[in-house]
Amino acid sequence: MQEEPNPIKDYLFDYIENSNTIKELVVQKKFDQIINEIIQNCYDKIISMGNKDEVVGVLATGLLHYLLTNALINSQRKVEYQGIEIDIIVPDFKTLEKDPKKTLIICIPKSSNKKIIEEKILQLEKIQLEKENIWIVLSENISLDKKSFVLSKENNSFTSIIFEIAQFSNVGGTNKFKILRV
C-alpha cells in the first residue's frame, strides 16, 4: 500500500537528502544534533504548512522513522493492534504480547487538547499494561502523567528521544544501538 504524498514529509526528506551535515552526523551517531539542525532549519517552514499540532505530529513521525532506521532500532509505525492505532511501537507486537516490559509505545497525538491526549493514553493502556512504557510526543508542554517529549523551537526536549529509546531497547541485554553507514 502506497502512502499518500505529504508536503511536510517531502520537505523534511528533501532537506535531509540535500544536507551534507546530516549524513555526517548520522555516521557520528549524533542524533540530538540532527534533530537540532532540522528544527533550526525546517521548523518555521513546516509550521506554516497547516495546523501546528498536526504538522508537528507529521514532522515528529517522519523524523522518528528516519532516526530509528538509522540507529538500527527495530520499530513498527502507523499500525493497528486490537483496533487501536499506534504511531510507533519499539520493537514490535510480538514482543508486546510476550513481554510488555520490553515494549515501548510512542504516541504522537497531533493535538494539544489535554482531554483528547488523555483519552488516547487510556486506549493505549488497554494494550500496554506497563503504563510507564507509553511515551508521548507533543507540540507544546502539557502536564501529563507520562514521559513526554516536546518538539518545538523553544523548550525542545525531543532531541534526547532517540538516545532514550536506545537506552530502553538496550535494557534487555545485547546492545542493538549500531549505526547504519549511509
> pLDDT-based confidence at 154, cuts 50/70/90?
confident
Domain ranges of the chain: 7-170
| pLDDT tens per residue across span 112-151 | 999 999 999 999 999 999 999 999 999 999 999 999 999 9
Cell reading at 180:
547504519
Q: What is the DSSP letter of 160?
A: G
Task: Look at residue 170 in the predicted model and tell me its pLDDT.
Answer: 81
Q: What is the pLDDT of residue 180?
A: 37
Confidence band, pLDDT 50/70/90 cuts, at residue 169: confident
Query: The pTM is what?
Result: 0.89
Q: Please tell me the predicted confidence (pLDDT) of residue 119.
A: 96
CB 134 within 8 A of CB 10: no
pLDDT of residue 5: 77
pLDDT in tens, 41-91: 999 999 999 999 999 999 999 999 999 999 999 999 999 999 999 999 999
Report yes or no: 38 and 15 within 8 Å, Cβ to Cβ. Answer: yes
Radius of gyration of the chain (CA): 16
- Mean pLDDT of all residues belonging to the chain: 90
Work out the burial of residue 20: count CB atoms within 10 Å of its CB; fewer than 13 is exposed, 13-18 middle, 19 or more buried.
exposed
Helices (H), 28-128: 31-47, 52-70, 93-98, 114-127
pLDDT score for 2: 53
Q: How far is CA 58 from CA 49, 93, 128, in A?
A: 11, 22, 23
